[in-house]
Amino acid sequence: MTVRAGTLEIIAGPMFSGKSEELIRRVRRAQIARQAVQVFAHALDTRYGENQVRSHDGGALAAVPISSSAELEARLDPPAEVVAVDEVQFMDEGIARVAERMVARGVRVILAGLDTDFRGEPFGPIPRLLAQADRITKLEAVCVVCGSPAHRTQRLVEGRPAPYDAPVILVGAKEAYEARCRLHHEVPGRP
């Protein structure tokens, strides 16, 4: 068996930018290369059912649901050469240490998630993961207001921008979120 250098790849961006689609694409390429792959998804994200990573346009992969970095590490399959995690913004800060341990063992680690929350602020463990990453892919969506490149996720409550003091985590899709450019991203009550 050839020992390979591990890598940490981050796929980040707002909702509707294709993060899960890109994760699925990378995993499928690894499978074509006959690499041992293990895919995880945060248990909070049940929008498209459990036990899968699914993109908004319908692509899907079987996945192990997890709720913490400790659970991910406990469920790792030792022969895995590629480990992918979707919705990594929901993970605890321990994911950065777990990712580093996997990389040190020669694993290619692919993590996808929102880099900012609906307020436009750094989301969960993403800032630390970005600092540790060997490769960062920052995707953009299309602003629903003007059609410009969108780097923000707009949360809506009854069709209006959610206030700053709304809970940070609310799992949803098109019924609760839109992609917006910086100009059209609104957060009423921002300090």
Rounded to whole angstroms, the Cα distance separating 186 from 164 reads: 9
Mean pLDDT for the chain? 91
Q: How confident is the model at residue 52 (pLDDT cuts 50, 70, 90)?
A: low
Rounded to whole angstroms, the Cα distance separating 187 from 164 reads: 6
- Confidence (pLDDT) at 191: 86
Rounded to whole angstroms, the Cα distance separating 158 from 176 reads: 8
For residue 154, give the amino acid letter: Q
Q: For the chain, give the percent of residues with pLDDT over 70.
A: 89
DSSP sequence for 107-167? -EEEEEEESB-TTSSB-TTHHHHHHH-SEEEE--EE-TTT-SEE-EEEEEETTEEPPTTS-
CATH domain 7-140 topology: Rossmann fold (3.40.50)
Model's pTM, two decimal places?
A: 0.90
Domain boundaries, the chain: 7-140
- Per-residue pLDDT tens for 1-33? 456 789 999 999 999 999 999 999 999 999 999
- Confidence (pLDDT) at 5: 85
- Per-residue pLDDT tens for 76-103? 999 999 999 999 999 999 999 999 999 9
Is 87 noted as a catalytic residue in this protein?
yes
The residue from 21, 81, 87, 178 that is catalytic is 87
- Per-residue pLDDT tens for 138-163? 999 999 999 999 999 999 988 899 99
Quick one: average pLDDT of 171-183? Answer: 85
- Confidence (pLDDT) at 145: 97
